[in-house]
Structure 1
Amino acid sequence: MGAGGRQAGSARGLTGARDVRLLALAFLAGVLAVHQLATLPPLWLPAMLLLPGLVRWPGHAIWLAAVLGASWAIIDAEQRLSARLPVAAEGDTRTLTGRVASLPERDAIRTRFVLQSDADPARSRLAWYGEHPPLRSGDCWQFTAQLSVPQGSANPGSFDYEGWLWRQHLHATGYVEAGRRCDADAPWSVNRWRQAASEQLKAALDEGIGAALIRGLVLGDRSALTDVDWQVLRHTGTSHLMAISGLHIGLLATLVFLGLRRALPWLPAGMNPPVLTVAALGSGLAAFGYAAFAGFALPTQRALLMVAVVLVALVLRRPVLPSRVLALAGLAVLMRDPAAVLAPGFWLSFAAVAWILYLLRGRLGSGGWRRWLWWQPALVLALTPLTLFWFGQASIVAPLANAVLIPAFAVVVPAVLGTAGLALIWPDLGAPLLRLVEASLATGWRSLAWLAELPMAQVSLTAPPVWTLLIALVGLAWWLAPRGIPARWLGAIGLLPLMMVPLAPPPGAFNLAVLDVGQGLSAVVRTAGHTLLFDAGPRYRSGFDTGRALVLPYLKSQGIRRLDRVVISHGDIDHRGGWPAIRSAMPVGQAVGAATDRPCLAGQAWHWDGVEFRMLHPTTPGGQDNDGSCVLRISGAGGSVLLTGDIEAPAEQALLEREAEGLAADILVVPHHGSDSSSTTAFVQAAAPAFAVVPAGWRNRWGFPDPAVVARYQQVGAGVLHTGRVGAVRFDLRPGQPVNVSRWRIRYRRFWHRPVCGSAGRAGSGSLSCVQPEEGR
């Protein structure tokens, strides 16, 4: 082939690569657009949109790719919704027969696992409390279980548990009432092998961080890592090292490939196979085996697909552009699972590789040690917008930690995999070696934990809106562009919108957010310059702490870094459970009420920014029971709020006798979660709120709010808002304006979320009309 032919072929290759990248981005855009919808459109709509793409015009292929992505996402979502537990069956007790389809996770009070039904595609996440026979992945069981529609708390800034259940293909949750083994034999499965390996590793190792790290690196089983351990990883920007991805899969594949290439030519004459082919095949099998044992998580899938494309290109002796490999891997992941676009790991994993490719071609593309010196902070900076978007925080020490640990993993990963494999095959020899690796990891972890405790090791910022994220990414691309691009420093301006925080109310105004913390209470009041927290939500026996998991993320999402006052209404765990976590994580000016050094008493009062706060109850200190709850009235030019804790009829009567005229409020947080022992007719009539907020869990076991209580509030014209149904409720009270109400589950609804009422997901299949009477007057 002449020079002209080679140039033409090269041009065609580059054009094809560019087309693949654009087509992959278009397909991604179509999938992503569907996952922003509150209801699924009918499939005929994207089918109609395909028609313009069947006619040749500039960009018709990109249009087709986007519409095909949307169509595939709708088809996938429809299949999942059809397998989901119907809303009408919420709370039903059913008999389920199936196989354990995950590694069972055991804690102090329960075992959680996934059951794959034998009769249909349904997968349920079940909890079995107390003592029970051991569960093994792959075993057949018949359970009697009470089931629920997948649901979780709905608050700004907090983890979308319902979205996680959707991504994991989990169609119901519940708990086991009784269970017995089936007679069917357990088939071969990777998870069964993983569980056997996990149990063998547990037996060979001591309990501790070293053992937890080994199980995470070998099996992708991170259940032994505690919240404190994850905090160390987040603060140092090294969480990605525990997600088995390109670093791990690529390193193993490279070592096996190079080892086979070096060893195979030494075989006796006549036995030498095609070296490159066998080396590539052996490398691919090793990568696939590692990915399988790691559970095929999203970063693992991406890494495996990229390794496979590179190995095929090596065997065929064809050049392959890294960006094309990345695009093909992205298409493969989305074809397998469109819901991957909801996972932070999808974006961080692909973005990390894309930025590396960009940086290596840019001004960081040469210079030896200087390239490495600048590569880490540049990559951390490039990923910061995404990290802030998903987690609301970024690590300052991440460049230092990664500059040391990433090269170290070239030794750590082979050492862990080699000794773990030897311990599984030949325990007498491998177990002692594995314990040496365990001790080394534990020693290194102490250094990492020290780094995480440094002042300003990480900073928490408000999770940025999507538009600021896009501006920041464009700015970073300009700032880190190749040499020759003029005024690159101007790209840094694109980062400024990331620093935006939600505006506080103006003087004289305030807002109230009643959070969805399940069966409990936590409310946040914010004025122009101050913030008050009324109750901190529950803490459960399982260890789940709503203060850490729900309240603190909300505060950070609003740009709140300090609490000027905290009121813990009384001693029940559903009101004070989250207080220790909040107190340890955020500066607090003054705390009153239960679990504090200062009681709340009627007559206490203060003014913030033109807003008056006055304690109405109790009159004597020391009360920890329901009727000793703190009752706080807040009033400003825009309206008034009454926070009541768990007071019941006797306390309500005492308030009527002392403060009859002071009980009137525009917004009332309903006493005792709407129990029939509270909200007497006289109290409701005296308060006469426009909005009555019931802080109660979805389908809680007490049946709160009581229908009779709801009726009493409706009789005085109040709109009744149940946090378990509508999620967090926020009220903005501004002088001269009507009260503005925002309900998180409705305002930010997605089709996979548990419906407020009606049916889930599909357009036209349900209605939110049942919430309209709650608007109030």
Structure 2
Amino acid sequence: MRTGMLALALGLLSLRLLPALPSVGWLILLLILALACLRTRLWPLGCLVLGACWACWSAQQALDGRLAAQLDGRTLWLEGQVTGLPARTGQGVRFELEQPWSRRGELVLPQRLQLSWFDGPELRAGERWRLAVNLRRPHGLLNPHGPDREASLLARRIGATGTVKAGERVGEAAVSWRDGIRQRLLATDAHGREAVLAALVLGDGSGLARDDWNTLQATGTVHLLVISGQHIGLLAGLVYGLVAGMARLGLWPARMPWLPWACGLALTAALAYGWLAGFGVPVQRACLMLAVVLLWRLRFRHLGAATPLLIALLGVLLVEPLASLLPGFWLSFGAVAVLALCFSARLGAWRPWQAWTRAQWVIAVGLLPLLLALGLPVSLTAPLANLLAVPWLSLAVLPPALLGTALLPVPLGGEGLLWLAGFSLDGLFSVLGWVAVQHPPWVPEPLPLWAWLLVCLGALLVLLPAGVPLRLPGAMLLLALWAPREQVPHGQVQVWQLDVGQGLAVLLRTRQHSLLYDAGPAQGDSDLGESVVLPTLRKLGVRQLDLLLVSHAHADHAGGAGAIRRGLPVLRELGGEGTGGAICSSGERWQWDGVAFELWHWPQGPSSNERSCVLRVQAGGERLLLAGDMEAGAERAWLASNADTRIDWLQAPHHGSRSSSTEPFIQALAPRGVLISRGRHNSFGHPHAQVIERYGRHGVQVHDTALDGALGLRLGSQGGVVGERAGRRFWREGGGS
């Protein structure tokens, strides 16, 4: 039986690796094959194929539920119900709308939308609204080793995103108890930690400040504020321990068997907490796992720890096969699997303090391969931080927070307990904040496959019991973390034009030097320099910048520069007027590792765009021109000041606007390809149709970050441009080049 369950689970998990989904015809053939195998000795293969068929069918249903291509970018009037807890952001409100419909009956809309309303009014769960929404198919920025938003949206079955232009409430909400509790929590004096309490009690992290998120990520304690297995387990453990303690002290009624009651009350408390938290997918997963563990404790301890874990894994995947697209799925099951491996079938008993300290380091070692595979930062302080934070949260924060929430109708009682919980939280965040500043997380470069496999084997050997004489060799295998990565050859440049939406950020790396041209956009509480550019640089192995070159002071080019300065050592900074660095000067030249760089600047330009600092790079006979936001006047000035105007690759001036990329400019440069950086459905209409037609007329190949993701080029190798979307995944739309 266990073999069949394992095969079925592997089939369900195979969905994550598929570049494309099989057609209906292939699915039928595979299903027939699976049913035939079930009657033979190949029945495990049949289980595996059955799992894959179910996962593919479910994924196809989710893809078919996306917004139709002909409605992408259109503004429609629709009506629907607000669900979940609307999140107030610095610029407005973000919320989900379910079962939307349009009075134009022929339109088929997705069943769930994720919408943003800039400067929108207060929304409550359960309200019905009639809204004018600019709808877009699920899409996200795609950068090297970065998160994949499209996978996340598909796993949550979000069929479209959109921006609300106008709206009116057409139906009041029924009593929304969760929203009401949130409002009470946010209005309570909790020592300035009201938003953190809302996250802890309701799973609503929308109000957390960016600094709080950064602190949690740096110390590996994000799980403390995301209601999942740990919170459910903590509450269930407290209830179970209370009943067991009363039974041991003789305080539990003798006529009531304590073990069934302890298991039943623990599960009841966990389900109540899950109900309070809205029963999202992580909470469902946690409650299912807890139910299996308690059943195992009550009746089936002879089955070992692996079987309950496998049952829980199958239960989650059969209900929602797309859960495997989420990093949290792998981390939560991985953590439980590591603990099961290290705490079961051991000879002798550990003292409680030994078990607790070992739990922290075994999770740190056991999850290391998963963190590397998922491209997540590794907190070196996580074991020590959790050693302190988990009991602090369990004993000093969670009980008064939950009890205070339950007692909110009681004057002073509930508010007093919540103030106490907030005071404890403030102390915890003070300690974690100090740790985060002293020891920021490690962002390793992606490992070669052989090195990653060695790390997996090393972690497994280190986690073996102490009597097994392989732990030291396992620790030696972990040195593969520092395996040599591919180096940029002398005389070449690795170029990455990052996908930063309506902005620009280009990384150039020679063998021993790094240069960043522009730093991405920032507006309000959205800083892509901090959230996109800086993490991508770290994952690409950039530990310092030899030069930060900001073309001009507009926010879509210079907005992220502050985050870059804070996050990485910058040896030198140049740019246009008002960018914070020294003003670049025409004619400045230098060489790095056999690669030539040259600056150009038009100080007489009538606008900031025209005064962009321009960079020309030459490597191995190939040339790249980074043109910033040059417009027609600057293009003429550049042509007049350069005798040799041939360029192989061109960063499209001003994102491909109609005021740039003039006919004489393109004709004189004669590039092989142009790299356009812009946001999908941007309000400026970039790139202009006339510009695209002009490039096409001159035989210039167009590469577009909005269609292809980040664009990679090895200048000097005589190769071509490769977009991140060239790596096919069934949930991604294909590139446009």
Task: State the alpha-carbon separation in 2 of the partners of residues 466 and 428 from structure 1.
Answer: 59
| Structure 2 partner of 1:128 | 117
Q: Secondary structure at the match of 1:713?
A: helix
Q: 1:750 aligns with which of 713, 722, 729?
A: 729
Structure 1 stretch displaced more, 714-723 or 240-249: 240-249
Task: State the alpha-carbon separation in 2 of the partners of residues 367 and 317 from structure 1.
Answer: 23
Task: State the alpha-carbon separation in 2 of the partners of residues 59 and 410 from structure 1.
Answer: 50
Task: State the alpha-carbon separation in 1 of the partners of residues 537 and 253 from structure 2.
Answer: 69
- Say whether the 8 Å CA contact 1:43–1:71 is kept in structure 2: no
| Alignment of 1:738 onto 2:718 | yes
Task: State the alpha-carbon separation in 1 of the partners of residues 722 and 71 from structure 2.
Answer: 29
TM-score by length of 2: 0.92
Residue 126 of structure 1: CA displacement? 0.9
Q: 2:91 aligns with which of 81, 98, 109?
A: 109
Residue 484 of structure 1: CA displacement? 4.6
| Alignment of 1:471 onto 2:460 | no
Residue 259 of structure 1: CA displacement? 4.2
Task: State the alpha-carbon separation in 1 of the partners of residues 482 and 403 from structure 2.
Answer: 46
Task: State the alpha-carbon separation in 1 of the partners of residues 425 and 615 from structure 2.
Answer: 52
Residue 590 of structure 1: CA displacement? 0.6
- Say whether the 8 Å CA contact 2:93–2:120 is kept in structure 1: no
Structure 1 stretch displaced more, 297-306 or 107-116: 297-306
Distance 1:76 1:530, change over 3 A: same
- Say whether the 8 Å CA contact 1:600–1:618 is kept in structure 2: no
Task: State the alpha-carbon separation in 1 of the partners of residues 166 and 457 from structure 2.
Answer: 56
| Alignment of 1:721 onto 2:703 | yes
- Say whether the 8 Å CA contact 2:713–2:719 is kept in structure 1: yes
Amino-acid identity (%) = 38
| Structure 1 partner of 2:390 | 406
| Structure 1 partner of 2:516 | 533
| Alignment of 1:397 onto 2:381 | yes
Q: Secondary structure at the match of 2:572?
A: strand
Task: State the alpha-carbon separation in 2 of the partners of residues 488 and 142 from structure 1.
Answer: 63
* Map 1:384-533 → 2, pairs under 5 A: 384-412=368-396, 414-454=398-438, 456-464=439-447, 468-500=451-483, 502-533=485-516
- Say whether the 8 Å CA contact 1:214–1:416 is kept in structure 2: no
- Say whether the 8 Å CA contact 1:510–1:526 is kept in structure 2: yes
Task: State the alpha-carbon separation in 1 of the partners of residues 72 and 142 from structure 2.
Answer: 18
- Say whether the 8 Å CA contact 2:405–2:418 is kept in structure 1: no
| Structure 1 partner of 2:200 | 217
| Structure 2 partner of 1:35 | 16
Residue 107 of structure 1: CA displacement? 2.1
Residue 104 of structure 1: CA displacement? 0.6
Q: 1:616 aligns with which of 597, 600, 614?
A: 600
Task: State the alpha-carbon separation in 2 of the partners of residues 367 and 268 from structure 1.
Answer: 30
Residue 131 of structure 1: CA displacement? 4.5
**Paired AA for residue 732 in structure 2:** H
| Structure 2 partner of 1:570 | 552
Task: State the alpha-carbon separation in 1 of the partners of residues 245 and 479 from structure 2.
Answer: 52
Task: State the alpha-carbon separation in 2 of the partners of residues 228 and 52 from structure 1.
Answer: 51
| Alignment of 1:321 onto 2:304 | yes
Stretches of structure 2 lacking an aligned partner (at least 5 in a row): 102-108
- Say whether the 8 Å CA contact 1:386–1:469 is kept in structure 2: no
- Say whether the 8 Å CA contact 1:364–1:374 is kept in structure 2: no
Q: Secondary structure at the match of 1:424?
A: coil
| Alignment of 1:678 onto 2:660 | yes
Q: Secondary structure at the match of 1:460?
A: coil
Residue 98 of structure 1: CA displacement? 1.5
Q: Secondary structure at the match of 2:582?
A: coil
Task: State the alpha-carbon separation in 1 of the partners of residues 358 and 296 from structure 2.
Answer: 31
| Structure 1 partner of 2:29 | 48
Residue 118 of structure 1: CA displacement? 4.9
| Bigger relative contact order (CA 8 A; separation at least 6) | 1
- Say whether the 8 Å CA contact 1:501–1:559 is kept in structure 2: no
Distance 1:492 1:314, change over 3 A: closer
Residue 630 of structure 1: CA displacement? 0.8
Task: State the alpha-carbon separation in 2 of the partners of residues 469 and 532 from structure 1.
Answer: 29
Distance 1:397 1:364, change over 3 A: farther
**Paired AA for residue 350 in structure 1:** F
Residue 714 of structure 1: CA displacement? 2.1
Distance 1:442 1:406, change over 3 A: same
- Say whether the 8 Å CA contact 2:87–2:207 is kept in structure 1: no
| Alignment of 1:147 onto 2:135 | yes
- Say whether the 8 Å CA contact 2:86–2:95 is kept in structure 1: yes
- Say whether the 8 Å CA contact 2:305–2:344 is kept in structure 1: no
What is the number of equivalent residue pairs in this alignment?
724
> What are the superposed Cα offsets for residues 569-616 of structure 1, whole Å, 9 maximum, x if unpaired?
011111001100011000111110141231011111110001100112
**Paired AA for residue 281 in structure 1:** G
Q: Secondary structure at the match of 2:491?
A: coil
- Say whether the 8 Å CA contact 1:538–1:575 is kept in structure 2: yes
> What are the superposed Cα offsets for residues 52-105 of structure 1, whole Å, 9 maximum, x if unpaired?
663469973332232122111111112112221012211112222211112011
Stretches of structure 1 lacking an aligned partner (at least 5 in a row): 1-15, 758-770, 772-777
Task: State the alpha-carbon separation in 2 of the partners of residues 503 and 241 from structure 1.
Answer: 37
**Paired AA for residue 674 in structure 1:** G
Distance 1:375 1:129, change over 3 A: closer
Q: Secondary structure at the match of 2:610?
A: helix
* Map 1:288-437 → 2, pairs under 5 A: 288-313=271-296, 316=299, 319-361=302-344, 366-368=349-351, 369-412=353-396, 414-437=398-421
TM-score by length of 1: 0.88
| Structure 2 partner of 1:11 | none
Distance 1:108 1:318, change over 3 A: closer
Task: State the alpha-carbon separation in 1 of the partners of residues 243 and 174 from structure 2.
Answer: 33
Distance 1:604 1:301, change over 3 A: same
Task: State the alpha-carbon separation in 1 of the partners of residues 612 and 547 from structure 2.
Answer: 17
| Structure 1 partner of 2:104 | none
| Structure 1 partner of 2:168 | 180
**Paired AA for residue 551 in structure 1:** V
- Say whether the 8 Å CA contact 2:709–2:724 is kept in structure 1: yes
Structure 1 stretch displaced more, 600-609 or 174-183: 174-183
| Structure 2 partner of 1:61 | 43
- Say whether the 8 Å CA contact 1:618–1:631 is kept in structure 2: no
* Map 1:79-94 → 2, pairs under 5 A: 79-94=61-76
Distance 1:362 1:402, change over 3 A: farther
Task: State the alpha-carbon separation in 2 of the partners of residues 268 and 294 from structure 1.
Answer: 32
Distance 1:614 1:310, change over 3 A: closer
Residue 561 of structure 1: CA displacement? 0.9
Task: State the alpha-carbon separation in 2 of the partners of residues 365 and 496 from structure 1.
Answer: 31
Task: State the alpha-carbon separation in 2 of the partners of residues 26 and 286 from structure 1.
Answer: 33
- Say whether the 8 Å CA contact 1:462–1:500 is kept in structure 2: no
Residue 153 of structure 1: CA displacement? 1.1
Task: State the alpha-carbon separation in 1 of the partners of residues 689 and 347 from structure 2.
Answer: 66
Q: Secondary structure at the match of 1:587?
A: coil
Q: Secondary structure at the match of 1:618?
A: coil
Distance 1:200 1:603, change over 3 A: same
- Say whether the 8 Å CA contact 1:422–1:429 is kept in structure 2: no
Distance 1:345 1:748, change over 3 A: same
Residue 478 of structure 1: CA displacement? 1.7
> What are the superposed Cα offsets for residues 265-312 of structure 1, whole Å, 9 maximum, x if unpaired?
97999xx66665454433322211111222334443332112212333
| Alignment of 1:582 onto 2:564 | yes
